[in-house]
Amino acid sequence: MNRLHARVASFSRPAAAFSTTPEPRTIGSFARGRQITGGNFLFAGFLVEAPDTAIWDLPMPDEGFESEIHGFTWLDDLAAVGDHHATKRAQAWTHAWIAQNGRGAGPGWTPDLTGRRLIRWINHAILLLNGQERGVSEAYFRSLAAQTIFLSRRWKAASPGLPRFEALTGLIYAGLALDGMDAHVGHATRALAQECAREIDPDGGLSTRNPEELLEVFTLLNWAAAALQDMGQSPGAAHITAIEAVAPVLRALRHADGGLARFHGGGRGLEGRLDRSLASSGVKAFPNEGLAMGYARISHGRTSVIADAARPPRADASANGHASTLAFELTSGRRPVIVNCGSGATFGKSWRRAGRATPSHSTLGIEGLSSSRLGSAGKMSDHASEFLVDTPREVRFERDDVDGGTRLVVGHDGYLSSHGLTHVRTLHLSDDGRSLNGEDTLIAFDASDRRRFDLAFDKSKLRGIPFSVRFHLHPDVDATLDMNGTAVSMALKSGEIWVFRANGEASLSLEQSVYLEKSRLSPRATKQIVLSGAAMEYATRVNWSLAKAQETPSAIRDYAMDDVMAVD
C-alpha cells in the first residue's frame, strides 16, 4: 500500500514555492557530521568506511542501515558542520535521492521515514536550494508535494509513538510551508491532538519510559505548535495540555549538567536541545517530589541523583527497554560521575543486548540473571525487536526529607520467582550534596520466599547466591583503587575528588567497563566499581558511601572552578 500511494502521489500537482520562509529548527551533532564528511557512515549498528562515496552508493549491510539513511537525520549533522564540503554533500545527496526515488520508488516511502524526511528538507531548505538551478528547485518542490500527499493518506500506518508524531508533525509542517498544501493542516492538527491524548499520559510520560524519546516528542510538539501559531492557527487542546504536562517531567529527568538521565535506550539528548525546547514551550512549571515517568530525582547543592524507581515498560512498549530497575546516575555540577553504560544499538546487536542487561547499569544484580529478561522477538517499526518479559511485578518507592538530607527507599521483586529475594535500595543525599550514602539489601520476606531461597541456596552447593553491585563511571572520571583495596578515589576534570567506600563482607574491585554513545564510532573505555558477595542468609546487606574529599572546595568555589575548566 505504501508503494501504491507513493506512486500515485508522484503524479500530484507540484507545489511551486514556500508560502513562508522556513526556519532551520533542527540541528545535529557536529562530531557526527565530521564523521560523515570524512567517509565514516555509522547507522543502525553498522560502520561503513567509504571516503569520497555518495551516501546512496554505499553497500547496505542491513535494512535498518538503509532506513536510517532514507530518514535524512544525517542532514541535521551536515548542517551542524555547515562548511563548504558538508553543504555540497547535503545538496548533492538530497537531489540524488529526488532523481532516484522521487517518483515513488525505493525503500524510503514509509510514513515513518517520510515525516522525518519532510521535517529535515523543510528545515534546511535554504541550505539545500542555495545556488541551485531552476530545474533542481522545481524537482525539489515536486518531491515535497508528492511526499506531503503520500503522508496525508498514509500517516495512520506509521508506528505508534515517536514515528507517528514525526509523521503528523511533518504533515503539518509541509501543509503550512508549501503553497497549495494547506488543506491537509486541519486534519493533521486534529490527529496530532488525538495522538497526544492517546500516547502521553496525564502525568506527562510515555509508555516506553525513554527520557530522550520524550524529549524528541516534546520538541516535535513545540515545533508543530509554533508553526501553527505563526500562521494564526491554534493547536488542539490535547496538544497544548501535553506540552504543559511533559515540560516538568523533562525538568525532573535533567541532571545538574543539563543532560538527560540515560535509561531505557535513551541518551543524554543533543546538546542544548532540552534547554531550547523547555524555553520555547513557555511552561514554567517544576516537577513535584513524586515520580516523573517512573524516575525519582534528588538534588542538593551541585549534585543530582536520578533513579529508576518503577516497573519497566510494558511488553509492547519495551522494544528498547532495559533491565535497569533501581539503577541510578549521579552528576556533580557539569561532571557526570556514576552512569549507566547506555544504549548499544548503534554498535550492533551484541552491544545492544549487552547494554540492556542489568550488569550494564549501576545497580545490584544476581550473577547470571537480569532483573528483567529479554523475550522472543516481535515487530516494532517493521523491524524485529526483543521485548522485556518476566519483569518485576512490584516496584516500591518512598521519599522522605530527613535530618541532614533526603532519603529514597526503593525495592523490586525481580528475583523473587527465581531466588525468593527482593532487592531493596536506600539512597541518602546530604543537604549540601557532598555525600551519598547507600544500602543494598537482598531479603527473603516470608516463608514462601525463604523456601525458594533455600532451594536456590542448595543448588549453589551451599556457596550462597552470588551477586554484584556495580557503579559504572563516566570516562572522564580518573579512578584509582587505594593500596589497601578499601576505597576508590575519583578525580573529576573540574578538580573535585570523590571517594567511594564500602562496609560489610562484599569485596571491592575496580574493573573495566564501557560507555556507549550514539555519536561515537566505537564504545568508550571506562571503569566500574564492583562490590561482589554472596547471599548466605535470608537478609544480606551491603553499605557503601560516595563523598567528596574534605579538601574539595566549597560549593561557591566549585562553580568558579568548573567555569574555568569548562574550556577543556
Q: Which H/E stretch holds residue 250?
A: helix 237-252
- The span from the CA of 343 to the CA of 84, in Å, is 33
Which of 10-14, 15-19, 200-204 holds the top average pLDDT?
200-204
- CA angle (408 as vertex; 406, 410 as ends), nearest 5: 180
CB-based contact 148:178 (threshold 8 Å): yes
DSSP 8-state class, residue 340: -
CB-based contact 29:79 (threshold 8 Å): no
CB-based contact 468:368 (threshold 8 Å): no
| pLDDT, tens digit, 9 for 90 and up, residues 339-382 | 999 999 888 889 999 999 999 999 999 999 999 988 755 444 44
When pLDDT is cut at 50, 70 and 90, the band that residue 9 belongs to is low
When pLDDT is cut at 50, 70 and 90, the band that residue 248 belongs to is very high
- The span from the CA of 213 to the CA of 326, in Å, is 20
Pick from 299, 365, 369: nearest CA to 331: 299
| pLDDT, tens digit, 9 for 90 and up, residues 500-555 | 999 877 999 999 999 999 878 889 999 999 999 999 999 999 999 999 997 776 54
In 215-359, DSSP assigns E strands to 295-300, 303-308, 328-332, 335-339
Pick from 153, 161, 143: nearest CA to 106: 143
DSSP code string of 387-427: EEES--S-EEEEEEEETTEEEEEEEEEEEHHHHSEEEEEEE
- The span from the CA of 554 to the CA of 88, in Å, is 50
| pLDDT, tens digit, 9 for 90 and up, residues 392-442 | 999 999 999 998 999 999 999 999 999 999 999 999 999 999 999 999 999
pTM passes above 0.85: yes
DSSP 8-state class, residue 157: G
| pLDDT, tens digit, 9 for 90 and up, residues 111-122 | 889 999 999 999
Residue 2 has a pLDDT of 59
CB-based contact 308:328 (threshold 8 Å): yes
- The span from the CA of 148 to the CA of 170, in Å, is 8
When pLDDT is cut at 50, 70 and 90, the band that residue 109 belongs to is confident
